[in-house]
A and B are shown apart, each in its own frame.
Chain A
Amino acid sequence: GAGVSQTPSNKVTEKGKYVELRCDPISGHTALYWYRQSLGQGPEFLIYFQGTGAADDSGLPNDRFFAVRPEGSVSTLKIQRTERGDSAVYLCASSLTRAGPGELFFGEGSRLTVL
């Protein structure tokens, strides 16, 4: 497909478990972003990759959250020791390096439910 792909679309887990969420950006897009959207709220920035490196991880809420992008394409958001408050939709977006402000392409998100 031509769009940003996120898997799984839905994930239900138990408190304390480890979770991985995957994002496959649009081919050729070097910039990749993770956002988190809680129920009834707008998306909140988590982390931004330019190529393989995390250029800005200021939005990660604590050290239980980690993201990687080892080959500059697919990215994985990892959440350790999940808590009920981590329940949200996790959104991934990508853009071209030379894209203008806000020119992001979003995936449909991964809905995480922590029981």
Chain B
Amino acid sequence: GDSVTQMEGPVTLSEEAFLTINCTYTATGYPSLFWYVQYPGEGLQLLLKATKADDKGSNKGFEATYRKETTSFHLEKGSVQVSDSAVYFCALNNAGGTSYGKLTFGQGTILTVHP
């Protein structure tokens, strides 16, 4: 079956540091890939997505590129802020048009950014 593996956390950085959170996946066919974020006390939010190979998703300074050859979708940000402290989840959808919301999630990575 489909699966998503994220780098182990927690990740602790100083403000303005560079962030990478690794994500690799196993799936048949051509899944869509996502990063979700959960800020303290809030529900999960879609951060960015990519629906085909070589697509780059971007939002709020975060980027991730769909790499089919390495089955990866690593999340990056050039300069993190304290407000980026949250839990980040990598996810995929392989159900296609029958169920765009049926997602397989990774285990999540806790990010803490210090001033």
Contacts and interface: CB of A to CB of B under 8 A. Distances in A.
Interface range, B side:
20 to 34
B44 interface: yes
Interface stretch (B60-68, B69-77, B78-86, B95-103): B95-103
Interface string B95-114: 10011111111111000000
B99 A44 contact: no
Q: Indicate the member of B4, B44, B106, B107 with the most A CB atoms within 10 Å.
A: B44
A11 B41 CA distance: 17
The prevalent SS among residues of A at the interface is loop
A30 to B, nearest CB: 11
Contacts of B34: 101-102
A12 to B, nearest CB: 20
B24 interface: no
Interface range, A side:
20 to 34
Interface of B: 4, 32, 34, 41-46, 49, 51, 89, 91, 93, 95, 98-108
Interface string A38-58: 001111110010000001100
Given A42-B89, A101-B93, A102-B34, A48 B43 contact: no
A109 B43 contact: yes
A101 B66 CA distance: 15
Interface of A: 3-4, 31, 33, 40-45, 48, 55-56, 91, 93, 95, 99-109
Contacts of B32: 101-102
A45 B104 contact: yes
Contacts of A40: 107-108
